[in-house]
Amino acid sequence: VPMGQVNSVLGWSPDGRRWKWIRPNDSFLPLGKAGDFDACGIFGAKQDPLRTATANDTLRIYYVGCNGPFFGSRGCAIGMASMQRDGFAGFRGGRVTTAPIRVSQGVLKVSVDGGSSGVRVGVVGSKNLSIANCDPIKGTVTD
């Protein structure tokens, strides 16, 4: 991280006391281009992103961006970024088990950015719909 640059880092905690940083050297919100209001610094605002979810399931993330180094002269402004609600991500293969989901009309759709490896979706307790019996969903699709 260049001297005077401030990144907003994504972290998580199982209990609100012990925190782990996902990628400690990478800004969760990318810095703007040279000359933009957020070119040198991103400060996350305290917020509950689920309260700012819009009707189309988009999360709004408010932040303060600055155009100069932290210890120097700079102008700052409030910005807003958005992202898909309820997305899960990983750096390597793993398993995510959700709370039970009631499926109406026998169809479950998922939005996936599965890349070339794909993502498998199965049903716990079902032999026919187990992860082993499901084809991977590849690419960026809703299926």
Distance between CA atoms of 67 and 40, rounded to whole angstroms? 5
Q: Is 108 a domain residue?
A: yes
- Compute CA distances 128 → 7, 98, 100, 123, whole Å: 46, 19, 18, 9
Q: Are residues 117 and 137 in the same domain?
A: yes
Distance between CA atoms of 65 and 92, rounded to whole angstroms? 31
Q: Are residues 21 and 75 in the same domain?
A: yes
Domain that holds residue 24: 11-84
Q: Is 1 a domain residue?
A: no
Q: Are residues 52 and 104 in the same domain?
A: no
Distance between CA atoms of 9 and 48, rounded to whole angstroms? 16
Q: Are residues 32 and 59 in the same domain?
A: yes
Average pLDDT (113-118) is 82
> Which residues, at least 6 apart from 118, have a Cβ–Cβ distance to it below 8 Å?
112, 135, 136, 137, 138
Query: Each residue of 127-143: pLDDT tens digit?
Result: 898 988 989 989 888 87
Query: Each residue of 73-87: pLDDT tens digit?
Result: 888 999 998 887 766
Q: Are residues 70 and 99 in the same domain?
A: no
Q: Phi, psi (5° rounding) for residue 112?
A: -135, 140
Number of folded domains that form the chain: 2
Q: Is 115 a domain residue?
A: yes
Q: Are residues 63 and 20 in the same domain?
A: yes
Query: Each residue of 39-72: pLDDT tens digit?
Result: 999 988 877 766 665 667 777 888 999 998 888 8
